[in-house]
Amino acid sequence: MTPRILVIDADTRVRQDLSAVLSAEDCELQSAPNGAEAIELLHAGTYDVILLDLMLPDMSGVQVLGLVKEKAPWVPVVILTSYRETDTAVLAMKLNAFDYVNKPVQMDRVLRVVRKALADSQRRREEMADADRPVPGGDPGVVPSRSPVLRDIYTIVDKISRGNSSTVLIQGESGVGKDVLANLIHRSSARRDGPFLEINCAGLSEHLLESELFGHEKGAFTDAVTRKMGLLELGHAGTVFLDEIGEMSLAVQVKLLRVLEKMVFRRVGGTQDIQIDVRIIAATNRDLAEQVRRRDFREDLYYRLKVVQLMLPPLRSRPEDVIPLAEYFMGLFNERFGKQFQEISPEAKEALLEYHWPGNIRELKNAMERTVLLEEGQILQRAHLVLAGKEQFSESLPATVGSLLDKPFPADGVDMEGLVRELETKLLRKALSASGGNQSQAARLLGLNRDKLRYRMRQYGIDSERNEA
């Protein structure tokens, strides 16, 4: 099949030269001198590669690029740009252009880039043909991803869903969706009709976590007035998800290791072994291998957990997912709040792509929820978005920390734990003050869940007698 290439450039000579060179490569060429004609051609047909000048007479080349990515996200777009347009070229690359060629155009460079782009176009078409479903089994609860890394993870999920007992360790930064992936693994497996129970190991003391996991017998401790079944027992024939397992104490780790080795445990204060059938999925944003080296985490448990190891990348490393996720959340909150947003403007998309998302998918979801809830209209505009709050806030860190980073280390070193404690305490108090003491809102401001917020408040002795709604 003859590759089809569209050249969009206001310069007649450039269009003619490119057409001559690429026609000799057995490519079918079409060209447009401006954005309006280019858009007509894009609506009328499909192309394997697009060569796009950023300086068009009627509209920005960045706008045309945005339209191309909406209509045909798999088509590689090669940017034609002069040296003085460097900033715009950088923006275009952020908007997922395939590559760029500087003007005046060197035809050997064009040929090399176009050949690579054609190969990439073919590969993307094949991937999209194979990956029309968003996740294994077409699960409607998880949004689609264009990221090759995520699709590799979904392939692994497909494979492990055929078995139903292998332990899984999910690693990644806060907010990347570790809990969502754990739930997907459960729903894709033969255990889907069993319970899915989860617990955050960071939000509980050692004794409370032990009681929640293993249960307890009546009289096991002062407040144990009745027998209680733990999550491992309640999760029989299902899945138990242990979030933030890196926070688990060594004493509880020993008991969990026995569960993984023998599928047997005893309630706190009990003498009878209880046999269970449960899959354990664990997650952490910590480097467990480093914790093993520091003897903060048991090596034998670490290897038992990582039978299957999945690493979820941060959102900033997969910009191709930002707009699909934003559109997904826009639709979700449209339905929840009775709103009518139909699309995201090109300027708003640029803003979404330029932001680095330190809070990952959770932050993007919260940003879209706020926008859809508070704004009106059919097109979500750049002015509707509030994205820079965390960036600006991070620039105003306590002076003691900021000044320290600008200076050489003192000869006697620094109290790193004390500085971190000071910073976290100030952040916690500031968030609680800003939210009027509402712990749920404070947790959202800090990118934490409420259990982790409470854990940190207890850790630093911050008063928790506030509204928890």
Q: Taking CA 382 as the corner, what is the angle to CA 134 and CA 331, rounded to the nearest 5 degrees?
A: 30
Only one residue has tokens 């401006």, namely 34
Q: Topology of domain 137-311, per CATH?
A: Rossmann fold (3.40.50)
SS3 annotation, 114-153: HHHHHHHHHHHHHHHHHCCCCCHHHCCCCCCCCCHHHHHH
Sign of torsion over alpha carbons 235, 239, 243, 248: positive
- Torsion angle of alpha carbons 440, 359, 288, 184, nearest 10°? 80
Q: Is 170 exposed, middle or buried (0-12, 13-18, 19+ CB in 10 A)?
A: buried
What's the pLDDT at 137? 40
CB 140 within 8 A of CB 184: no
Angle between helices 178-188 and 148-160 (to 10 degrees): 40
Asked if residues 76 and 120 have their Cβ atoms less than 8 Å apart, the reply is: yes
Amino acid symbol at 308: V
CATH fold label, 401-459: Arc Repressor Mutant, subunit A (1.10.10)
The one-digit pLDDT tens for each residue of the chain (469 residues) are 688 999 999 999 999 999 889 888 888 899 999 998 998 888 777 889 999 998 899 888 888 887 887 677 778 999 888 755 556 556 656 667 788 888 888 898 899 999 988 988 877 666 554 444 444 444 445 556 778 888 888 888 888 877 767 899 999 999 999 998 999 999 888 898 899 999 999 878 898 899 999 998 888 887 777 888 999 999 999 999 999 999 999 999 999 999 999 999 999 988 899 999 999 999 999 999 999 999 999 999 999 999 899 999 999 888 889 998 999 899 989 999 999 999 999 989 988 988 888 889 999 999 999 999 989 999 999 889 887 444 444 444 444 455 555 556 666 666 676 677 778 888 888 888 777 788 887 888 887 877 778 878 877 778 754 444 4
> Which part of the chain has CATH 1.10.10.60?
401-459
Class at the top of the CATH hierarchy for domain 317-392: mainly alpha
pLDDT at site 95: 62
What tokens were used for 303? 């290897």
Q: Do residues 194 and 237 make contact, with C-beta atoms less than 8 angstroms apart? A: yes
Longest dimension (CA), the chain: 89
Indicate left, alpha or beta for 57 from its phi (over 0: left) and psi (-120 to 50: alpha): alpha
CA atoms within 13 A on the CB side of 10: 13
Full 3-state SS string of the chain:
CCCEEEEECCCHHHHHHHHHHHHCCCCEEEEECCHHHHHHHHHHCCCCEEEEECECCCCEHHHHHHHHHHHCCCCCEEEEECHHHHHHHHHHHHCCCCEEEECCCCHHHHHHHHHHHHHHHHHHHHHHHHCCCCCHHHCCCCCCCCCHHHHHHHHHHHHHCCCCCCCEEEECCCCCCHHHHHHHHHHHCCCCCCCEEEEEHHHCCHHHHHHHHHEECCCCCCCCCCCEECHHHHCCCCEEEEECHHHCCHHHHHHHHHHHHHCEECCECCCCCEECCCEEEEEECCCHHHHHHCCCCCHHHHHHHCCEEEECCCHHHCHHHHHHHHHHHHHHHHHHHCCCCCEECHHHHHHHHHCCCCCHHHHHHHHHHHHHHHCCCCEECHHHCCCCHHHHHHCCCCHHHHHHHCCCCCCCCCCHHHHHHHHHHHHHHHHHHHCCCCHHHHHHHHCCCHHHHHHHHHHCCCCCCCCCC
Query: Start-end ranges of CATH 3.40.50.2300 in the chain?
Result: 4-130
pTM: 0.56
CATH 1.10.8.60 in the chain is located at 317-392
> For residues 375, 378, 379 and 384, what is the CA-based torsion angle, rounded to 10 degrees?
0
CATH T-level assignment (fold) for domain 4-130: Rossmann fold (3.40.50)
